[in-house]
Amino acid sequence: MLKRFKLGQIVNAVGLKGESKVYPYTDYKERFEELDSLYIENTVYKIEKVRYMGEMAIVKFAGVSDRNAAEALKGKYLYIDRENARELGEDEYFVPDLIGLQVKDEAGENIGELCDVIQNSAQDVYEIKMPDGKTFMIPAVGEFILKVDMDNREMVVRLIEGMID
């Protein structure tokens, strides 16, 4: 299990006072307001201020006092320790914990392994890699995802005609 979660990526500097524009990897961008500090790569940075520009978080880190210092952080990822992660509700999972789950059909036959979670649509979509190397997508909704068993690292899915080519 991962000890840290990727919370976002610094995509640019903003203004002249060292603010960074952050693309959040969370569905709750306000999460940055709840944190005192986070990691940029392996270094801890204290958060001084957070504001928003559309869906982006604008974060001012302690010690980053001008545009040049903020520019130096461009492209770097932000992480938090697992123990600082938000509490999840029932049937909610952290993406890194889902990757690698064995996927089975309703009859218990192995279909493959969950290799990616695509989060840019109305609902998440799981990418499943079959034993022959081909992949297919399945919407992450109750109609298709019947059971997620994190203890046994497996997921049971309902397939419909045409889902697997």
In the predicted model, what is the mean pLDDT of residues 142-164?
Answer: 89
* Residue 2, pLDDT score: 62
SS (H, E, C) 31-81: HHHHCCEEEECCEEEEEEEEEEECCEEEEEECCCCCHHHHHCCCCCEEEEE
Region 88-110: mean pLDDT is 87
Q: Which residues constitute the domain of residue 18?
A: 4-82
Residues 108 and 66 in one domain: no
Asked whether residue 12 is assigned to any structural domain, the reply reads: yes
Which whole number is the average pLDDT over 13-22?
95
Give the chain's mean pLDDT.
89
Give the pTM.
Answer: 0.69
72 and 108 co-located in one domain:
no
Report, as an integer, the average pLDDT of 89-100. Answer: 82
Residue 67 has pLDDT above 90, yes or no: yes
Do 65 and 119 reside in the same domain of the chain?
no
Q: Which residue has the tokens 């504001």?
A: 51
Q: What is the DSSP letter of 139?
A: E
Question: CB of 138 within 8 A of CB of 162?
Answer: no
Residue 164 lies in a domain: no
Give which of 7, 151, 2, 164 is closest to 79, Cα–Cα.
Answer: 7
* Percentage of the chain modeled with pLDDT above 70: 97
Is the distance from CB of 134 to CB of 159 less than 8 angstroms?
Answer: no
Q: Range with the lowest mean pLDDT among 22-26, 72-76, 126-130, 154-158? A: 22-26
- Same domain (yes/no): 102, 61: no
